[in-house]
């Protein structure tokens, strides 16, 4: 079969450009022979203690860090001197300097930026968050550092990005948006970042060597918004067919992202190959054994090629060869076989795990395998088949449940304490921050601790800037974090100056949504405005909390305090985002007060009262759409415009818009939406989405209730999936830029809501 041209040929990354922690892993690795590697034994316990320092390169290019600094601080970048510190321990920075002349020494480009981030937080009193910043409040001459300060990371692995981030945060993002994300991650001390964009391209090229046509594969590979779950072996085909042009563009984008990370000394974590194949693979390859993976939320999962079969090694080698040509090499690869209910069939999981690791090492000797700790994974059988000293478990449940013993559960395998405080891109605020603080210290202090990292794993990024700041701080603070003091300091720098009203607002938010407890949930409740209409609705997403996880008055009081912040501090993007987000959350919480009243009026057959209350509901939706429309981070129009921008013609643009709309609403086909309970899984309170989908649904529902009371009949049944599918097929345009005065719109929200305690 003719070979299609690759986006561009790439050199393998030089070992000297890798972070020291992962360089050590490569240098220390022993590539196994044909036998499955044994699980780590007590005799190899030293390997499980984390990588030991290796000889550091003599120097490194600070150019990428300087470029990032100019992007982050365009007015003040010239006041920083960035110095490679090859004598420092790995992941260490030192900050010193006089006014207007700040020197940051560090062991990598990313660590230099982490030092800049520390300086901004602790000396300059400014915040560059995700999203929102207060750099406009910095003085023309930056303050000096009273005495040199040195910080070292407390754990070698600071991993970021969930497998679902690309789908829920923006599958059609530009390179500049990804670049901004990398800059922020480096500024906040992250050193390992999952790179998913373009991951379909190695599959596309490698499988053409194994008898599949390009047309077959373009139909099998989903559109970008749903590729996260295809890579997890949960689904295929939805939203396609994709074009070869789009795949090549995405592969080139992913390569640029990986290069950006390498330039800063960060590790691009690439998807590994663990056996996903299209239908009919076994019938096309004699001796190959595949296991049908059954159903996932209404989708047919891709088949699993038994890693112990000879065809697996051949296909894995082809996959890694194609991946290297575009993305280069790495020292860390992400794989989660049998994710969320995958079927083993007659496959020996222990032998399969060993074969997966051997195939990885045949292409990338000694590379680290990152596996998600989720539900029952990784199983004891998988761990028994691999060299666990070269495995890192990204624990997605660290802050969700109680009575966790990770050393006992995973037999001493190294793991990173993670958090998933956001599911589906919900706009709800809050996190179990006190749980993070308590467990990070306690789990590290255990005599047999296998805790070697942190894992920042929200299903979507770009929400909850306080949570992002605090979680990433854990790995760099030399002692226990005082939660109350941390939020007080955050309030002081978030808007560029200390302010009593800002401090009071963040104290309310700390006590409320940012102090939720573990036991069942790691995310706060979502909004009933975004729920599929019902008088008994308790949440929008089926898998979200069904009741408030904190006292709603805390958000209501925080809104009043933020509105009272003096005008001189209202100019920052951080203030505007926080004000809009808090007003949005206060309205969302009020939906849980209004709906029971509407139900009571309907059940009492009080039509007048029902109309009064539903009018209040509609007014709340209008205010919600307006206030979210005043900030760029809450706009449906931007989400849709990016999807359409990737299509070469109208038909392709419409396909990608459907991909982007469907994941926010029906998610997939009817079986997924209904039987899989995924409708509204990615609900979010965005301007345009509120008015065009959520408010329209509730209008339709309230009209049916009124008609039922007037006619003394039961309400007519509504096919909500058909309603939502029709919306997902629309191509209406929405503003891609904010409009309106956030303060005036948030004040209107506050005026319409009851005061706290009433």
- d(CA 192, CA 457) in angstroms, rounded, equals 12
Kind of pairing between the strands at 92-98 and 149-152: antiparallel
pLDDT, tens digit, 9 for 90 and up, residues 548-565: 999 999 999 999 999 999
pLDDT, tens digit, 9 for 90 and up, residues 566-625: 999 999 999 999 999 999 999 999 999 999 999 999 999 999 999 999 999 999 999 999
Are 193 and 269 spatial neighbours (Cβ–Cβ below 8 Å)? yes
User: Which residue, 681, 690, 572, is CA-closest to 628?
Assistant: 690
SS3 503: helix
Are 639 and 727 spatial neighbours (Cβ–Cβ below 8 Å)? no
Are 471 and 477 spatial neighbours (Cβ–Cβ below 8 Å)? no
Farthest CA pair distance, the chain: 83
Burial of 295 (0-12, 13-18, 19+ CB in 10 A): middle
**Residue 510 has which token pair?**
């700390």
Assess whether the previous peptide bond of 220 is cis (omega < 30° from 0).
Answer: no
Are 191 and 264 spatial neighbours (Cβ–Cβ below 8 Å)? no
Q: How confident is the model at residue 59 (pLDDT cuts 50, 70, 90)?
A: confident
pLDDT, tens digit, 9 for 90 and up, residues 423-469: 999 999 999 999 999 999 999 999 999 999 999 999 999 999 999 99
Dihedral, 139, 141, 143, 148 alpha carbons, nearest 10: 140
Which residue bears the tokens 């790179």? Answer: 195
pLDDT at position 13 is 38
State residue 749 phi and psi, 5-degree precision.
-60, -50
- d(CA 10, CA 159) in angstroms, rounded, equals 25
Are 524 and 554 spatial neighbours (Cβ–Cβ below 8 Å)? no
Name the more confident of 28 and 673: 673
pLDDT at position 757 is 83
Q: Label each residue of 627-691 as H, E or C.
A: HHCCCHHHEHHHHHHHHHHCCCCHHHHHHHHHHHHHHHCCCCCHHHHHHCCCCCCCCCCCECHHH
Kind of pairing between the strands at 303-305 and 290-291: antiparallel
pLDDT, tens digit, 9 for 90 and up, residues 657-669: 999 999 999 999 9
- d(CA 301, CA 248) in angstroms, rounded, equals 25
pLDDT at position 6 is 58
Question: What rounded mean pLDDT belongs to the chain?
Answer: 93
**Is the pLDDT at 503 greater than 70, yes or no?**
yes
- d(CA 636, CA 366) in angstroms, rounded, equals 44
**Is the pLDDT at 533 greater than 60, yes or no?**
yes
SS3 603: helix
**Residue 438 has which token pair?**
């308590």
Are 113 and 69 spatial neighbours (Cβ–Cβ below 8 Å)? yes
DSSP string, 191-206: -EEE--TTTHHHHHHH
pLDDT, tens digit, 9 for 90 and up, residues 3-45: 445 565 444 333 333 443 343 333 333 333 333 333 333 222 2
User: Which residue, 467, 555, 469, 465, is CA-closest to 504?
Assistant: 555
Are 690 and 253 spatial neighbours (Cβ–Cβ below 8 Å)? no
Q: Using only C-alpha atoms, what is the Rg of the chain?
A: 26
* Domains of the chain from N-terminus onward: 15-28+156-481 (3.20.20.80), 63-152 (3.30.379.10), 510-516+540-752 (1.20.120.670)
User: Which residue, 139, 119, 123, is CA-closest to 76?
Assistant: 139
CA distances for 432 relative to 420, 425, 471, 618, angstroms: 10, 17, 10, 32
State residue 369 phi and psi, 5-degree precision.
-100, 120
Q: Sign of dihedral through CA atoms 177, 180, 182, 188? A: negative
Sheet order of strands, 92-98 included: 80-84, 101-106, 92-98, 149-152
SS3 75: coil
Count Cα atoms within 13 angstroms, Cβ side, for 540.
31
- The residues, ordered by sequence, that sit 6+ positions from 614 with a Cβ below 8 Å of its Cβ are 598, 702, 705
- d(CA 656, CA 240) in angstroms, rounded, equals 8
Are 469 and 488 spatial neighbours (Cβ–Cβ below 8 Å)? no
Which residue bears the tokens 């040509």? Answer: 325
- d(CA 121, CA 77) in angstroms, rounded, equals 16
- d(CA 194, CA 580) in angstroms, rounded, equals 30
Are 215 and 204 spatial neighbours (Cβ–Cβ below 8 Å)? no
Residue 703's CB is within 10 A of a number of other CB atoms, namely 14
**Is the pLDDT at 258 greater than 70, yes or no?**
yes
pLDDT at position 171 is 97
Which residue bears the tokens 């997966």? Answer: 356
Q: How confident is the model at residue 90 (pLDDT cuts 50, 70, 90)?
A: confident
Are 620 and 681 spatial neighbours (Cβ–Cβ below 8 Å)? no
Name the percent of the chain lying above pLDDT 90.
Answer: 91
**Is the pLDDT at 275 greater than 70, yes or no?**
yes
Buried b (16+ CB within 10 A) or exposed e, 221-233: bbbbbbbbbbbbb
- d(CA 669, CA 674) in angstroms, rounded, equals 9
DSSP string, 525-556: ---STTSPP-TT---SSTTS-SS-SS-THHHH
What is the model's pTM?
0.93
pLDDT at position 7 is 61
């Amino acid at each position: 079969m003719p070979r299609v041209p690759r986006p561009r040929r790439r050199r393998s990354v030089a070992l000297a450009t890798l972070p020291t922690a992962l360089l050590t892993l490569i240098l220390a690795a022993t590539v196994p022979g044909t036998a499955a590697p044994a699980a780590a034994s007590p005799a190899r316990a030293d390997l499980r203690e984390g990588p030991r320092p290796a000889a550091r390169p003599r120097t490194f290019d600070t150019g990428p860090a300087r470029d990032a600094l100019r992007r982050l601080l365009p007015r003040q970048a010239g006041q920083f001197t960035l110095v490679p510190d090859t004598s420092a321990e790995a992941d260490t920075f030192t900050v010193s300097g006089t006014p207007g002349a700040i020197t940051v020494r560090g062991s990598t480009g990313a660590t230099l930026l982490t030092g800049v981030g520390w300086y901004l937080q602790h000396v300059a009193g400014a915040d560059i968050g995700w999203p929102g910043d207060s750099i406009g409040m910095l003085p023309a001459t930056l303050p000096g550092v009273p005495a040199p300060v040195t910080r070292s990371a407390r754990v070698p692995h600071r991993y970021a990005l969930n497998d679902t981030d690309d789908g829920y945060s923006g599958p059609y993002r530009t390179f500049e948006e990804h670049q901004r994300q990398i800059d922020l991650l480096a500024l906040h001390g992250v050193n390992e970042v999952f790179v998913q964009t373009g991951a379909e391209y190695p599959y596309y090229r490698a499988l053409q060597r194994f008898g599949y046509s390009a047309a077959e594969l373009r139909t099998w590979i989903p559109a970008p918004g749903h590729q996260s779950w295809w890579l997890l072996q949960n689904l295929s085909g939805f939203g396609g067919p994709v074009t070869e042009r789009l795949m090549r563009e995405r592969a080139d984008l992913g390569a640029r992202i990986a290069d950006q990370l390498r330039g800063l000394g960060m590790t691009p974590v690439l998807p590994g190959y663990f056996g996903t194949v299209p239908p009919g693979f076994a019938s096309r390859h004699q001796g190959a054994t595949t296991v049908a993976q059954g159903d996932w939320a209404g989708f047919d999962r891709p088949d699993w090629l038994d890693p112990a079969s000879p065809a697996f090694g051949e296909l894995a080698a082809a996959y890694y060869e194609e991946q290297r040509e575009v993305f280069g090499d790495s020292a860390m690869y992400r794989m989660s076989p049998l994710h969320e209910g995958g079927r083993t069939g007659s496959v020996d999981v222990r032998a399969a795990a060993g074969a997966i690791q051997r195939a990885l090492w045949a292409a990338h000797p000694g590379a680290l395998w990152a596996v998600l700790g989720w539900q029952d994974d990784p199983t004891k059988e998988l761990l028994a088949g691999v060299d666990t000293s070269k495995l890192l478990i990204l624990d997605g449940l660290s802050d969700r449940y109680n009575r966790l013993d990770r050393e006992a559960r995973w037999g001493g395998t190294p793991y990173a304490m993670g958090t998933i405080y956001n599911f589906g891109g919900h706009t709800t605020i809050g996190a179990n921050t006190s749980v993070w603080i308590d467990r990070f210290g306690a789990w590290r202090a255990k005599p047999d601790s296998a805790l070697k990292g942190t894992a920042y794993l929200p299903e979507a990024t770009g929400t909850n800037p306080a949570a992002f700041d605090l979680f990433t701080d854990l790995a760099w603070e030399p002692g226990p974090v005082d939660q109350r003091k941390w939020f007080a300091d955050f309030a002081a720098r978030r808007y560029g100056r200390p302010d009593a009203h800002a401090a009071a607002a963040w104290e309310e938010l700390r006590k409320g949504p940012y102090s939720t407890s573990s036991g069942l949930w790691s995310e706060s409740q979502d909004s009933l405005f975004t729920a599929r209409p019902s008088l008994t609705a308790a949440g929008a997403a089926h898998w979200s909390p069904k009741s408030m996880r904190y006292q709603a008055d805390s958000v209501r009081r925080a809104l009043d305090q933020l509105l009272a912040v003096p005008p001189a501090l209202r100019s920052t993007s951080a203030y505007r985002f926080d004000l809009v987000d808090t007003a949005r959350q206060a309205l969302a919480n009020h939906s849980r007060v209004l709906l029971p009243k509407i139900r009571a009026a309907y059940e009492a057959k009080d039509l007048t009262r029902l109309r009064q209350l539903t009018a209040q509901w509609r007014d709340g939706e209008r205010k919600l759409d307006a206030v979210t429309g005043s900030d760029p981070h809450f706009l449906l129009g931007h989400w849709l415009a990016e999807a359409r921008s990737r299509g070469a013609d109208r038909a392709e643009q419409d396909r990608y818009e459907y991909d982007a709309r469907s994941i926010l609403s029906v998610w997939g086909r009817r079986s997924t939406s209904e039987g899989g309970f995924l409708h509204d899984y990615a609900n979010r309170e965005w301007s345009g989405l509120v008015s065009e989908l959520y408010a329209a649904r509730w209008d339709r529902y309230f009209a049916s209730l009124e008609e039922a009371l007037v006619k003394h009949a039961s309400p007519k049944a509504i096919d909500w999936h058909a309603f939502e599918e029709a919306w997902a097929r629309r191509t209406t345009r929405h503003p891609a830029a904010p409009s309106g005065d956030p303060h005036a719109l948030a004040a209107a929200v506050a005026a319409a809501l009851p005061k706290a305690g009433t």
